[in-house]
């Protein structure tokens, strides 16, 4: 049963892996934080005076293939979207994240390992009340045939449509309400995806050096090259929904509204948040009473949900 207090982790969690872009080992430690402190990243490999990077929409550097945060001193941390989605999916809004390098580890390309570690560590209440961002009016952004939109609703829902020429992906659409652990059961294990031709080009250019068949679904024409194939028949569109939840978490509080994306990516979702906060009449902060808090992501999550995570 949910209550009306903001959540953090019960104890620190340490996860190690490799960076998607560099291929270098990276260590991330996610620590409890007091209420109303939000999510902050701290680079442990740079001067402590320059190392803090708040996870807010205004610190996002718009890039097509990942979400990178950068502070006023130019210190950045990339590939944060899967970690942010795991936190948002569990309703965790306060954490300090220590990262040993310029990017969060890619792990298996989904949010599953983060979710598993967080649930095992436990989720704790803070003294601060739950606050949310209520969408009051529709806000939309469009770019190059893609669009992202937020509309009023009584809870957070995410719908997405994608359309790829590759027959192994094609057209896919899905829609989910995010309450009652739906993120864990339906999205958390869905991996990032790409075409083999794109991987070959990036590797040849010295990019995505940590990318492999083990941390992404790699498609080649009508074939799935990654071991074990797909985890779900529509895994690509579900991963786009996972990304959207992580990018929406940069709003700084849970969103009460319906998100709809069509061929949208990280940059467009960030552009949507920028337009939202530039439109004062389209939103408001609210302090959530219990019936509202019960519909937020993570409100009814338990260790039993681990069985649904790959």
Instruction: Return the number of other C-beta atoms located less than 10 Å from residue 145's C-beta.
Output: 8
**214 DSSP assignment:** T
How far is the C-alpha of 197 from the C-alpha of 220, rounded, in Å? 7
Closest C-alpha among 29, 286, 243 to residue 235: 243
Q: Which two tokens stand for residue 64?
A: 């097509």
In the Cβ-directed half-sphere of 285, how many Cα atoms lie within 13 Å? 8
Could you give the dihedral angle defined by the CA atoms of residues 96, 102, 104 and 105, in that order, rounded to the nearest 10 degrees? -140
What 3-state class would DSSP assign to 293?
helix
Q: Where is 277: in which H helix or E strand? A: helix 266-277
Q: Does the active-site annotation cover 21?
A: no
Per annotation, catalytic residue among 21, 82, 239, 266: 266
How far is the C-alpha of 181 from the C-alpha of 33, rounded, in Å? 22
How far is the C-alpha of 216 from the C-alpha of 288, rounded, in Å? 37
How far is the C-alpha of 72 from the C-alpha of 123, rounded, in Å? 31
How far is the C-alpha of 297 from the C-alpha of 143, rounded, in Å? 29
What 3-state class would DSSP assign to 175?
strand
Q: Which residues carry out catalysis?
A: 266
């Amino acid at each position: 049963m949910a209550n009306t207090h903001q959540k953090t982790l019960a104890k620190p969690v340490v996860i190690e892996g490799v960076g998607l872009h560099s291929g270098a080992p990276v260590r991330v430690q996610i620590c409890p934080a007091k209420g109303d402190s939000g999510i902050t990243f701290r680079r442990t490999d740079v001067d402590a005076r320059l190392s803090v990077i708040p996870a807010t929409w205004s610190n996002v550097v718009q890039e097509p293939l990942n979400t990178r945060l950068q502070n006023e001193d130019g210190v950045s941390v990339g590939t944060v979207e899967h970690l942010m989605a795991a936190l948002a999916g569990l309703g965790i809004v306060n954490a300090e994240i220590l990262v040993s390098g310029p990017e969060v580890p890619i792990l298996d390309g989904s949010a599953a390992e983060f979710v598993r570690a967080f649930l095992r560590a436990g989720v704790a209440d803070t003294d601060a009340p739950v606050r949310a961002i209520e969408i009051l009016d529709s806000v939309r952004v469009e770019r190059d045939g893609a669009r992202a939109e937020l509309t009023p609703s009584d809870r957070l829902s995410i719908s997405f449509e994608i359309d790829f020429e590759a027959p192994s992906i094609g057209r896919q659409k899905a829609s989910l309400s995010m309450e009652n652990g739906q993120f864990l059961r339906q999205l958390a294990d869905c991996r990032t995806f790409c075409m083999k031709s794109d991987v070959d080009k990036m590797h040849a250019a010295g990019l995505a050096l940590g990318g492999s068949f083990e941390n992404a679904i790699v498609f080649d024409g009508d074939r799935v090259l990654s071991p074990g194939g797909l985890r779900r028949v529509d895994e690509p569109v579900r991963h786009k929904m996972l990304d959207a939840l992580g990018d929406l978490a940069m709003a700084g509080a849970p969103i009460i509204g319906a998100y709809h994306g069509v061929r949208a990516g990280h940059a467009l979702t960030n552009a949507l948040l920028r337009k939202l906060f530039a439109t004062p009449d389209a939103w408001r902060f609210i302090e959530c009473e219990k019936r509202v808090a019960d519909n937020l992501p993570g409100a009814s999550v338990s260790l039993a949900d681990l069985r649904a995570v790959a």
